[in-house]
Amino acid sequence: MLRSFAVQAVRPIIKSSLNRCFSEGSVLRMSSSSCTQVSSMEPHKVKEWLDSFDTVMTDCDGVLWVGAEAIPGSPQIINRFRALGKRVFYVTNNSTKHRREYKDKVDKLGFGGDLEDIIGTAYLAASYLEDSGFDKNKKVYIVGSSGITQELDDVGIQYLPIGPDPDGHRELGNISLELDTEVTAVIAAMDLHISFSKLLKAASYLARPNSIFLATNTDAQFPMKGKDIVVPGTGSMVAAVATAAGRDPIVLGKPNRLMFDIVQKRHPSVVPERTLMIGDRADTDILLGKNCGLQTLMVGTGVHSLEKVQEWEVSSDESEKRLVPDKYIDRLGDLLDMISHL
């Protein structure tokens, strides 16, 4: 029952965010309902495809690595892309880490790249407030972790302390709360210390006129392969805050186009139709590509499988057809042999 409620609560948030994408006047690529397996393509077709994009945006966990280990061949193909003159960006919905932590990881695992090549949702939250002219005499309340606070530090935005919140509320009739008068924005993200007290504060701050409500992403669950447990994702926490506040957030992460918008804003030469989005999860990675007019490639080393793609291809549900990627490959590193001669 609780799981069903969480999923239902997240859906309107996602729908609202996608509606914003469509209303912004962006030119979206026509949704393809057929997927080409790269392994079945003739060499000249692979070359044509490779020549059709200049920029690569790739998800990380499940595409490039699993946990602390690189997926075989992935570092080599990312470096091969760069050798062929393509710009590579790492894009992740994970808000718990600052980009510096990701920079350390891509260097350690052999992927390389610069700090500005890494786009995470903690960075998006700070960038959104900075670019919108957030008053730096005001503060942010965060249901989240240190990845967000570190990014806010980088742009000089103040915030209230994070971490476990003393939760002394035991009777609804005796609730009292001292709110900070300077808080004008709330960021909802992954928070392992989420509590009634945090929901109470977030909803109360969001009741203020003109307060800003940001959510890093709405992933309902955190993938944990090989374990017989369901790990609540950021979406479950965003849904709790949104339900308590009675309003929807601006969702920053995939599949919403703000993640691509920030890449374009920082790098105006990036062209949507000549950009390839690589991912393992259709409802975030591939749908981001579809929402922004990008080419899409799904790998089978993470959340979704080729069998699932084939189900979506023949589905009568248009929302499922939009999840079908343009291309599929079992493992990103399998591209190496196909393009080694180029």
Catalytic residue numbers, as ranges: 59, 61
Which position has the token pair 């989420």?
194
The DSSP secondary-structure symbol of 32 reads P
Tokens of 140: 């942010």
Assign 3-class secondary structure to 206-261.
HCCCCCEEEECCCCCEECCCCCCCCEECHHHHHHHHHHHHCCCCEECCCCCCHHHH
Strands 55-58 and 87-92: what pairing?
parallel
Continuous segment of H or E residues that includes residue 295:
strand 295-299
Rounded CA-CA distance 1/17 in Å is 25
Alpha carbon of residue 39 to chain centroid: 28
Assess contact for 247 and 211: CB atoms under 8 A. Answer: no
Picking from 205, 211, 212, 216, the residue whose alpha carbon sits closest to that of residue 180 is 205
DSSP string, 88-150: EEEEE---SS-HHHHHHHHHHTT----GGGEEEHHHHHHHHHHHTT--TTSEEEEES-HHHHH
What Cα–Cα distance (Å) separates residue 9 from each residue in 154, 237, 242?
33, 10, 9
| Integer CA distances (angstroms), 97 to 103, 245, 292, 324, in order | 10, 26, 25, 30
Exposed (0-12), middle (13-18) or buried (19+): which is 73, by Cβ within 10 Å?
Answer: middle
